[in-house]
Amino acid sequence: MSLRARDLQFYYGARKILENISLTADEGELIGVVGPNGSGKTTLLKILDGLLKPKIGSVYLDGKSIQEMSIKEIARNIAMVPQDASADVEFTAFEMVIMGRTPHLGKLSLETVEDEAKVKRWMEVTETLHLAERKMSEISGGEKQRVIIARALAQEPRVLLLDEPTANLDLCYQLQIMDLLKRLTRELGLIVICAIHDLNLASRYCDRIILLNEGVIAAVGKPIEVITAENLRKVFKVDAKITHDPETNSLNIIPIKSLKEREAESRKMICILARGEGSK
């Protein structure tokens, strides 16, 4: 199974947002999409999910363009965990997750015992079964995020897309979510693509990273190839120190200074020097 995007170009109105985006994701891969705010991460995920239609290019699942698939067919193959999942609702966690079965329901739209068993299974995998009867509005952010992931998994997709799944979560929940995503790729062979801000987490967990800059792919490859001081300077406009942690076999990224700050310092220095010279 593979997901491919070829030469995607996307506009919001007259503004070009994405250009020349081609990517390939194979079974069992965990791919991180990183880049500054506004670089096009969410837009790319929405195109991969068929929610937005590119002006040029297409997305292919096992060679078939998703533009030729019905919404239901896409939903049986690709599931999305959006950034702003409005989860502050009065539904219970179980009711929330069973909604994920919708693309698989028959004409009468009634869930069967089998659907319920599947929901329980995904709640077990995401460690949310104990929350089944709790209202979504009454559980913590990390628990909510796991329930929303369970709902996406209840669609039984082959591709799982997540938009900033660890945003606003404490350290423990961040690791839990990333560990879960890794297990889904390793044990079930899912393709997982997630937009992620935390470069440390991305480099630790992702097999490959796509670095977006102003709507184009600035770099793609293994974390060690993409998260380099040069790329961070070019794309994020920061000087960063990058070391390798042998214990976790991951990168440790410490942003040192923004280039704006550095420029301001040099301007200040030039002024001081100029004043010094002027007073001689």
Through-space distance between the first and last CA atoms of the chain, rounded to whole angstroms: 73
Map residues 145-184 to x or -, x wherever contact with ligand ADP holds by CB under 6 A: ----------------------------------------
Which of residues 125 and 209 has its CB atom nearest to ligand ADP in the complex?
Answer: 209
Contact call for residue 41 and ligand ADP (CB under 6 A): yes
Task: Please choose, out of 38-46, 139-147, 168-176, 252-260, the segment that lies near ligand ADP by the rule CB under 6 A.
Answer: 38-46
Task: Please choose, out of 30-38, 95-103, 110-118, 250-258, the segment that lies near ligand ADP by the rule CB under 6 A.
Answer: 30-38
Radius of gyration of the chain (CA): 22
Q: Give the C-alpha separation, 105 to 112, whole Å.
A: 9
Range 61-94 burial, b when 16+ CB lie within 10 A, else e:
beeeebeebeeeebbbbbbbbbeebebeeeebbb
Which of residues 8 and 125 has its CB atom nearest to ligand ADP in the complex?
Answer: 8
Task: Please choose, out of 39-47, 179-187, 228-236, 247-255, the segment that lies near ligand ADP by the rule CB under 6 A.
Answer: 39-47
Report the relative pairing of strands 208-213 and 238-245 from DSSP bridges. unpaired
- The answer to whether the beta carbons of residues 57 and 21 sit under 8 Å apart is yes
Contact call for residue 38 and ligand ADP (CB under 6 A): yes
Q: Where are the beta strands (DSSP E) in 177-248?
A: 191-195, 208-213, 216-221, 238-245
Sheet strand arrangement including 64-65: 15-26, 2-12, 56-61, 64-65
Size of the site for ligand ADP (CB under 6 A): 10
Which of residues 38 and 189 has its CB atom nearest to ligand ADP in the complex?
Answer: 38
Q: Maximum Cα–Cα distance for the chain, whole Å?
A: 90
Map residues 4-23 to x or -, x wherever contact with ligand ADP holds by CB under 6 A: --------x----x------
- The answer to whether the beta carbons of residues 192 and 185 sit under 8 Å apart is yes
Contact call for residue 190 and ligand ADP (CB under 6 A): no
Task: Please choose, out of 41-49, 126-134, 181-189, 242-250, the segment that lies near ligand ADP by the rule CB under 6 A.
Answer: 41-49
Map residues 43-72 to x or -, x wherever contact with ligand ADP holds by CB under 6 A: x-----------------------------
Q: How far is the CB of 35 from ligand ADP (least distance, A)?
A: 6
Contact call for residue 39 and ligand ADP (CB under 6 A): yes
Q: Which of 19, 23, 25, 42 binds ligand ADP (CB under 6 A)?
A: 42
Which of residues 1 and 51 has its CB atom nearest to ligand ADP in the complex?
Answer: 51
Residues 219, 223, 224, 225, Cα dihedral to 10°: -20
Contact call for residue 40 and ligand ADP (CB under 6 A): yes
Q: Which residues bind ligand ADP (CB under 6 A)?
A: 12, 17, 35, 37-43
